[in-house]
Structure 1
Amino acid sequence: MTPPCPPYAPPGRFLRAGGVPLHTLVEGEGPPVVLSAGLAMAWFDWDEVAALLVAAGRTVIRFDRPGHGLSASAAAPPTATGEAHRIAALLDALGVTEPVTVVGHSLAGFHAEAFARLHPARTAALVLLDSSIEETAPRTLLPAALRTGAARALGRALTAAGLPAALGPAARRAAVRASRAGAAAADPAAPDLVRRCYRTGRVWRGILLENARYPDTAAELLALRARHPLHAPATVLVGYDGGCGRAALRWAARQAALADRLGARFEVAEPAGHLVMLDRPHQVARAVRYAAAPVPPGGRRLTRAARPPAA
């Protein structure tokens, strides 16, 4: 008779921050770095970047936002201010008192910038990794409460129909492939972790809820910029696939404009898709390591990425 499989023991631990148990992983020693992934991503998407930072003498803090990875579902709709305070609460729960380098990828760039503005004494540096960006407040046809209710109802319906269990991991794999540079780019995440997270309705409900509140989060961050100056040195790192497509060039130009607006360094990771941490982990780790250095007047523009050292 085959013995039963032992219960799954995820790496890290669960800490309550902002009223929600968050799956949290802390590794290494040295100046602290907080890594927050974009919409629909999980802690393991930072694996290679985290290993490089730990080897470089950093304490790396990874966590899954509510409804993502292994964390519990959100108790309330997400906001930029709420997620910024959640990061601060997580640092309190971990006993981290020194300033941190906070890294936000995609949608989490809104949260990371809000943290840097609302908690300047706790911020050593800010890194925005192919961050979401809005130059003006997005217009919406439906009020926030209606969008939130619709997202929750759709999440319940998808779960009841069994779609996350049937299609969740495949949808994750397809999204990752589409967001990386190169036709052969694949999802490096372990299949058991992908199944563990993306077969659950909890994760897809979390994704829908964050996506539904995107315009509100963007508008909130624009308002925070007007009231709370950014004191920490910042880096804007954009992924570029090396092509001449209009959309890719426009995205890079918008990221450069964001760097100008923040007085930040601007770097281009090439070749890279939206999931820069998977395509260019060495460059991401290098940008994080040097993020706290003072930004020269006018920022520093790098139009080509240095290639990572040979393995």
Structure 2
Amino acid sequence: MTTPLEEALRAHVATHTVLGTRTRILDVGSGPVVVCSSGVASVLWDWAPVVALLRRTHRVIVVDRPGYAPGDEVSAVLPTLEGEAEHLLAALGACGVTEPVTAVGHSFGAALVEAAARWHPERIRSLVLLDGSVPHAEGTHGHDDAARAARRFRQRTLPIALSRPVGAVWVALGPGLSTVLVPGRRGLARAIPGLRAEAGAQSTLAASLRELAGYPACMGELERLRARRPLSRGLPVVVVAANGRLPRPGLSLWVRHVLRQARGFSHEARLTCRVLRRSGHFVMLDQLHRTAELIARAAAPQS
């Protein structure tokens, strides 16, 4: 049985060829363009509740990175930050978008949209970074041997992830694990019935492992990029930090790391910081209305 949320969005999901790669894109609504980029092990359906709120006043585009949609092949080549940022912008081109957009990134996706804004400032009118990656706090400074990580993924991790025994185990455990790790997906799985099957797909597992293997090198790339290419002066940047699902009297260590990183943007861009209390990492599910409000404000015409 189709639910109202799925019915409202499913017809607006299409597969495009972007830079020679099969790419699933949700493109719905009209108005100022907002493009959303997910984190590792996150698919476009994680944005569905926010998209449902924004679509009446905005054109919202959510781009799945290759590997996360059913039927996708997973590349044996590890991702690069530049490559993923170029893929995101090329996906906008595939949708016929040429004007500057509000780019929203969650977790690793925040690094991608930030990189896009640094490489192609003419394409980005504002940024919203939702609990984005923090290299200095995560110990991912790019000192890892990227060539060794790529070889290990290609020769060992990917073949194991795509093997028949692992596939059988993942089909059984993947859907449950996805909601245990992200409690906000419990209601989402009821609203989007096909989400559980996608979580149990081997391609989803392999794509997640691929990005985790390439993550340290991407973060090193981000730090080098920050040193070379400043953001456009005056670019509106909203940094959102999640303070945890449980109530606490002050700010978590993670939030302090996020805010410390944000201070580095203050001399480059027009910075706004927001801390979301009672929210886990997936702020677009845990604090749905507040997240939609922050995105809508960032996408509003600048005075």
| TM tier, smaller | 0.7 to 0.9
Aligned position for 1:279: 286
Please report how far the alpha carbon of residue 86 of structure 1 lies from its aligned counterpart in structure 2 after TM superposition. Answer: 0.7
Q: Match for 1:163: what amino acid?
A: V
> Of 135, 144, 147, which aligns to 1:145?
147
What is the distance in 2 between the residues matched to 1:52 and 1:224? 34
Is contact 1:44-1:189 (8 Å) kept?
no
1:189 aligns with 2:192: no
Q: Match for 1:157: what amino acid?
A: I
Please report how far the alpha carbon of residue 72 of structure 1 lies from its aligned counterpart in structure 2 after TM superposition. Answer: 4.1
Give SS of 1:149's match: helix
> Of 243, 252, 255, which aligns to 1:252?
255
Please report how far the alpha carbon of residue 187 of structure 1 lies from its aligned counterpart in structure 2 after TM superposition. Answer: 5.2
Q: Structure 1 72/53 Cα, relative in aligned 2: closer, same or farther at 3 Å?
A: farther
Q: Structure 1 130/10 Cα, relative in aligned 2: closer, same or farther at 3 Å?
A: same
What is the distance in 2 between the residues matched to 1:293 and 1:30? 10
Aligned position for 1:288: 295
What is the distance in 2 between the residues matched to 1:173 and 1:105? 22
Return 66-75 or 235-244, whichever deviates more. 66-75
Is contact 2:129-2:238 (8 Å) kept?
yes
Give SS of 2:135's match: coil
Give SS of 1:124's match: strand
What is the distance in 2 between the residues matched to 1:270 and 1:66? 32
Q: Structure 1 229/141 Cα, relative in aligned 2: closer, same or farther at 3 Å?
A: closer
Is contact 2:142-2:220 (8 Å) kept?
no
Q: Deviation per CA, 1:163-212, whole angstroms, max 9, x where unpaired?
A: 2343346334334433448xxx8352247423442333222111111101
1:31-70 correspondence to structure 2 within 5 Å: 31-55=32-56, 57-70=57-70
Please report how far the alpha carbon of residue 258 of structure 1 lies from its aligned counterpart in structure 2 after TM superposition. Answer: 2.0
1:180-219 correspondence to structure 2 within 5 Å: 180=183, 186=186, 188-190=188-190, 192-219=193-220
Please report how far the alpha carbon of residue 240 of structure 1 lies from its aligned counterpart in structure 2 after TM superposition. Answer: 1.6
What is the distance in 2 between the residues matched to 1:49 and 1:88? 21
Q: Match for 2:149: what amino acid?
A: R
What is the distance in 2 between the residues matched to 1:188 and 1:210? 24
Is contact 1:23-1:64 (8 Å) kept?
yes
Is contact 1:173-1:186 (8 Å) kept?
no
Q: Match for 1:273: what amino acid?
A: G
Return the structure number with greater helix share.
2
What is the distance in 2 between the residues matched to 1:123 and 1:43? 20
Please report how far the alpha carbon of residue 142 of structure 1 lies from its aligned counterpart in structure 2 after TM superposition. Answer: 5.4
Is contact 1:165-1:199 (8 Å) kept?
no
Q: Match for 2:239: what amino acid?
A: V
Normalising by structure 2, we get a TM-score of 0.84
What is the distance in 2 between the residues matched to 1:24 and 1:292? 20
What is the distance in 2 between the residues matched to 1:59 and 1:107? 23
Please report how far the alpha carbon of residue 75 of structure 1 lies from its aligned counterpart in structure 2 after TM superposition. Answer: 6.7
Please report how far the alpha carbon of residue 134 of structure 1 lies from its aligned counterpart in structure 2 after TM superposition. Answer: 1.2
Cα RMSD of the aligned pairs, angstroms, is 2.6
Q: Structure 1 201/174 Cα, relative in aligned 2: closer, same or farther at 3 Å?
A: closer
Give SS of 1:49's match: helix
In the alignment, structure 2 segments of 5+ residues that lack a partner are: 1-9
What is the distance in 1 between the residues matched to 2:299 and 2:81? 23
Is contact 2:29-2:58 (8 Å) kept?
yes
1:110-149 correspondence to structure 2 within 5 Å: 110-135=111-136, 138=140, 143-149=145-151
